[in-house]
Amino acid sequence: MSDREGKRSAHMKIALRLLLVAMLLTSVATNGLSEDKKASQKANEGARARSLFIKKQADAMSILVLKREGDTLVPVDPSTSFKAGDQIKLQFQSNFEGYIYIVNIAPNGKRKVLFPYPEATDNAVQPDERYDLPPGGNTIEFDQEKGIEVLQVIMSRDRIPYLDAALKDPEGYLSDSASSAAAELQGGIAKKVTPVVPQDDKNKVRSRDIILAAGKDKDEKGSVIAIPDTGGGGRLKSGEIAPFEIRLKHN
């Protein structure tokens, strides 16, 4: 190879290296912008969900996860990792008149209706009323079974016969034992989930999308879940449900 060809080859290698470095820097910058954009979208969605809940411009509810610390209950991020012996309590509030069901999906797949609880006359909820799960001074204590403890919450305008039937079981268990799969997770709350209500001729329900604002540690506002006020409007109609999941990590 001549000196001229050698120099040309060296220049080409340098140019290629510079091009690769430029492409890498562009990729890093683009990813950074993408992450910033996602964070901005979540913040905007959260602010919108809280506004819809407070102003009652769409059907929505708030959920507060409380962890016992000594003699007090302290708000925690839903994505907190819990261990055996930890005790928690849920507080929720609806801004619409309807029904709320809460189903526990244990790590072993068993599904049990937690709300309405046996002591409750029904699971009808009224706007601005606070509901505790479990009621009174009781709490839910994590046992030795590690995994993801799922609490699937279903908002509805009507009663759901399939879940009402489970209440006739002394333990409140559902007939099938299979966990649902989450498509999107934010702050320990999963959106776009497969509801525990089977899709068959007897249970013709339509699932609505939700937007949410995830709760944080020490934040008494908790998490807010709302029906988007676009498209079909932010109100649940007869035959529609809005399911989501609180996924509690048990290490």
Q: Residue 130: its pLDDT value, please? A: 93
Q: What is the pLDDT of residues 10-49, one digit of tens each?
A: 566 666 666 666 666 666 566 666 778 777 888 899 999 9
204-216 burial: b if 16+ Cβ within 10 Å, else e: ebebbebbbbbbe
Question: Which has the closest alpha carbon to 193: 225, 169, 164?
Answer: 225
Residue 48 belongs to a domain: no
Quote the CA–CA distance of 196 and 113 in Å, as a whole number.
10
Mean pLDDT by 10 residues, the chain (251 residues): 56 64 63 73 90 95 95 93 94 95 86 79 87 90 88 91 79 63 70 75 76 91 92 86 91 86
* pTM (global) more than 0.85: no
Residue 172 belongs to a domain: yes
- Please state whether 27 falls in left (phi above 0), alpha (psi between -120 and 50) or beta: alpha
Number of domain units in the chain: 1
Q: Is 142 within 8 Å of 193 (Cβ atoms)?
A: no
Q: Residue 1: its pLDDT value, please? A: 54
Q: Residue 11: its pLDDT value, please? A: 61
Q: Is 156 within 8 Å of 244 (Cβ atoms)?
A: no
Q: Residue 192: its pLDDT value, please? A: 81
Question: Which has the closest alpha carbon to 123: 65, 61, 68?
Answer: 61
Q: Residue 178: its pLDDT value, please? A: 47
Q: What is the pLDDT of residues 166-190, one digit of tens each?
A: 777 777 777 654 445 555 677 788 8
Q: Is 123 within 8 Å of 116 (Cβ atoms)?
A: yes
Coil, strand or helix at 138: coil
Peptide bond into 134 cis (omega under 30): yes
Q: The domain containing residue 230 runs over which residues?
A: 53-250
